[in-house]
Amino acid sequence: MYGANGVCGYLDYATISAPAILVVKDGSGVGNVLYTNGDCSVVGTLNYLQPKKGVSAKFLYFVLKRFNFQPYKTGMAIPHIYFKAYSKARIFCPEYEEQSRTAASLSRIEDKIALEERLLSLIQDKSNIYCQRCLYEQRGKQRLFCLVQFYQIIGFDGKFSSQSFHHTNEI
């Protein structure tokens, strides 16, 4: 079961056969686009699109991720978009082979970005834990040692601006 932010639950059955492009049609995430390669169901805040023969679902997903849904939005308090409104929009669609190559390239880039974001999140978590340990250490010079050790762990090159050590003695 997909919702506006991705998987939101699980059912014993699927109402949509794969692949499908999911478009958020109600609320603050209006126009956000998701892709599913497996059979699924969706909540009421999503439209689902399945491409015609000769159109790569993954290619269509990437096109719609960059599509400007703004002119099709309605509603003041809770924005909406309706398929009826944006279904008439024209998009460039090359031959299927080119769609597949483009989608494969963009998928590799998207996968790399997701990996880098996960790594960054792990580094930030580790950084927060390490900083908490160092900053709450009560043994004077040990704090500065922890900070220097932390910079070595994260690969800091040691180049500080002239203001970097302004408050070093307060660390």
The residue type of 103 is: A
pLDDT at 83 over 60: yes
Residues 6+ positions from 27 with CB-CB distance below 8 Å: 4, 45, 78, 79
Across 123-160, b (16+ Cβ under 10 Å) vs e yields eeeeeeebeeebeeeeeeeebeebbeebeeeeeeeeee
Q: Report how far residue 51's alpha carbon sits from residue 131's, in angstroms, rounded to the nearest whole number.
A: 50
Q: What are the CA-CA distances from residue 86 to residues 61, 82, 89 (Å)?
A: 15, 7, 5
Q: Write out pLDDT tens, residues 90-100.
A: 888 999 999 99
Max mean pLDDT among 26-40, 54-68, 150-164 falls in 54-68
pTM above 0.85, yes or no: no
Collect all residues with Cβ–Cβ distance below 8 Å to 168 and sequence separation of at least 6.
144
Residues 94, 54: Cα–Cα separation, whole Å: 10
The reply to whether omega before 19 is within 30° of 0 (cis) is yes
Question: What b/e sequence results for 26-44 when a residue is b if at least 16 CB atoms lie within 10 Å of its CB, and e otherwise?
Answer: beebbbbbbbbeeebebee
Contact 19, 37 (CB under 8 A): yes
Per the prediction, the chain carries an average pLDDT of 82
Give tens-digit pLDDT for 99-145. 999 999 999 999 999 999 999 989 888 888 777 766 665 555 555 55
Q: What are phi and psi of 91, to 5 degrees?
A: -130, 150
Q: Which percentage of the chain shows pLDDT scores above 90?
A: 39
